[in-house]
Structure 1
Amino acid sequence: MKANRQEKVQYLKPWDCLSVLVPLLVLAILVPQSVWGERRLPSDSVYALSATVENEQGETLQWQDLRGQPHLVSMVYTRCRMSCPLIIHQGMSVQQRLLEEGKAVPRLLVISMDPVHDTPQVLAATMARYRLSPERATFLRPRDHQERTLAALLDIRFRPRDDGGFDHTNVWLLLDAEGRVVARTEKMTGAPDPSFVRQVEALMASHSSQGDY
């Protein structure tokens, strides 16, 4: 038996479409980029660790916030008067070598293994003593006793001594923008390690060619 009434076909009007599209557009703007598919970290990225750090300006950062550009990374403690100054000077020497050649320079990322003593004020004073600008270096102190976790992640060993100092690995690591360890050197005296400098140069050239520097 056929129905006597006919079903009406409804057509969407332009303003009906807008009522749907406008909320979606607002949602796209407000939702964090990570939800929409920010690039996942590589499985071997050091930034996969969830850690909180504080810089020389007293700003609290997440470890993952450092993602996005290459870094030269090491760990020191500011009371050190022997090996730590050598470490810092060696990192500065790598930067200087690249600057002399007109090359792009990675920022130094210097992490304290003694965060109880190395307050932001102490870190800022240390940067000033070495005449390091924020464009060239960042000094960090781990929060929540995470200095050993970060050291293990970077394969840097340290242990406290009875005199209040630390025995530790003297090393610079080269991290790419995604936090992967590209190169490592433990040469801290004399001219910069030529092989390490070339690896830094190659990484910076690749980073620049991608338009990220």
Structure 2
Amino acid sequence: MPRSVAGFAVACVLSVAMPALAHQPGRDARLPTIGPAPPFALRMADGGRLALADLRGKVVAVTFIYATCTDTCPLLTAKLATLSKRMGKDFGAKVAFVAITVDPERDTADVLRSYAQAHGARGTGWAFLTGTPAEIKDVTQRYGVFARKTDRGDVDHTFLTSLVDRDGALRVQYMGVRFDPDEMLRDLRALVREGGR
């Protein structure tokens, strides 16, 4: 009996210690694979269409916003814009950020272009996407994002940013906007390095 208690205690300590060791700087731990990233093909702010498959070979951060949001969406977009600059030459060449609207009725191509420009999220490596309400509902549901228009015209929605690797696998998801940008930067760089092996 004492051996099983001791064994249980060791197992508990290891279950806490091992994840911490796996994420220490300098360790070569692969990020987990959640599964295949849900595909999508939506309309870009420039009028063309972009599919997730078109970005194969790049690490992609997929997030959900809407342009008339006055607080959290701009905060998230600004945070990602700062991260895009910190990625340096890899951003655009090896990493892309995709923002999908949850308000397709109001977020036209012109509206999304203005939103991107206002929040420093423009240029190579960025894509702001919209579609029909049915297309947007489909992609939000498949990514696990809840979105509902309120009586005031706002959109209550889940803040979720997903990292997709070069092979189209969903690897990491960040809930909310208070995630650690340094952690996301490390994860992006780790996924870029994986593709270079």
- Give the 3-state SS of the residue equivalent to 2:35 in structure 1: coil
Aligned residues: 162
Residue type matched to 1:149 in 2? D
Q: Which has the larger radius of gyration?
A: 1
Quote the offset at 1:123 in angstroms: 1.1
Q: For residue 169 of structure 1, what is the aligned residue in structure 2?
A: 158
Q: For residue 203 of structure 1, what is the aligned residue in structure 2?
A: 191
Following superposition of structure 1 onto structure 2, how do residues 1-213 of structure 1 map, counting pairs within 5 Å? 44-47=35-38, 49=39, 51-99=40-88, 104-105=90-91, 106-143=95-132, 145-186=134-175, 188-189=177-178, 192-207=180-195, 209=196
Q: Choose between structure 1 and 2: higher strand proportion.
A: 2
| Long gaps (5+) in structure 1 | 1-41
Quote the offset at 1:149 in angstroms: 1.3
CA distance in 1, matches of 2:193, 2:34: 24
TM-score by length of 2: 0.72
Residue type matched to 1:196 in 2? M
Q: For residue 22 of structure 2, what is the aligned residue in structure 1?
A: none
Of structures 1 and 2, the one with the larger relative CO (CA 8 A, separation 6+) is: 2
CA RMSD for the aligned pairs? 2.5
CA distance in 2, matches of 1:171, 1:97: 21
CA distance in 2, matches of 1:123, 1:107: 17
CA distance in 1, matches of 2:106, 2:133: 14
CA distance in 2, matches of 1:66, 1:97: 20
TM-score by length of 1: 0.67
Aligned-residue sequence identity (percent) comes to 22
Quote the offset at 1:187 in angstroms: 5.0
| Long gaps (5+) in structure 2 | 1-32
Quote the offset at 1:63 in angstroms: 4.7
Quote the offset at 1:64 in angstroms: 3.3
Contact 1:184–1:196 (CA under 8 A) maintained in structure 2:
no
CA distance in 1, matches of 2:85, 2:174: 17
CA distance in 1, matches of 2:55, 2:132: 15
